A = this chain, B = another copy of it.
Amino acid sequence: MRADAKKNYSQILTVAREAVTEHGADVSMRDIARRADVGLATLLRHFPTREGLFEALLCTNLDALTQKAAELEISNSSGEALVSWVRDWVVFAQSYRGVVAMMAAAHANPASALYASCAAVHSASARLLLRAQGEGAARADMNGDDLFALMTALGWAVDQPSFAPRADHLVRLMTSAILTDPPNNDVKKSKC
């Protein structure tokens, strides 16, 4: 990689981070190129697809996420590990607006630059679920696909500005659907 190419690459990533923070995952690629003082064609050769750009933008976050999964897999309580994992996922989902929708689409498209990352999240989820199910901490009647779908749905919801204020509570409600004995499910039934 030539010196000027290297400089452009990092410059693009820097301004892309700003642009995506401001306008979400649907920012205009042209806008990013303009901010980076680079021709649009240059941006598109470094990152031929929008997903390619996001794979680079998110790689730190994704590494931290999968690293966390590895730690949780050998933690004490399999149930608490699963809840922590869902929380970490939600934090990741909030890194940039529109990221979850993009991941959901990439998950179904092996040609996407984000496919491998989606698969990693999916399989980490499946492993944590399986362990929790083995200990009876998680519902037995769901699989990794279900968990991934629920986590993605949750991530999408907290991404919506109107739902964001209730994000913490939505996480609690969602985890209570997954665990067999949810810690926050101590609802007092009315007498009638």
Contact = CB atoms under 8 A, between A and B. Distances in A.
Interface stretch (A10-18, A33-41, A63-71, A182-190): A182-190
A180 interface: yes
Interface string A20-45: 00000000000000000000000000
Contacts of A116: none
A102 B163 CA distance: 14
A4 interface: no
Interface residues of A, number: 42
Interface string A134-153: 11100111100110011011
Given A140-B187, A141-B187, A192-B136, A173 B160 contact: no
Interface in A108-145: 108, 133-136, 139-142, 145
Contact of A157 (B133, B142, B153, B178): B153
Interface string A144-180: 0110011011101100111100100110011011101
A93 to B, nearest CB: 12
Given A187-B140, A189-B180, A150 B135 contact: no
A188 B162 CA distance: 38
Contact of A180 (B142, B154, B187): B187
B192 A162 contact: no
A134 B190 contact: yes
Nearest to A108: B162
A105 to B, nearest CB: 8
B140 A188 contact: yes
A160 B108 contact: yes
Interface of A: 101, 104-105, 107-108, 133-136, 139-142, 145-146, 149-150, 152-154, 156-157, 160-163, 166, 169-170, 173-174, 176-178, 180, 184-185, 187-190, 192
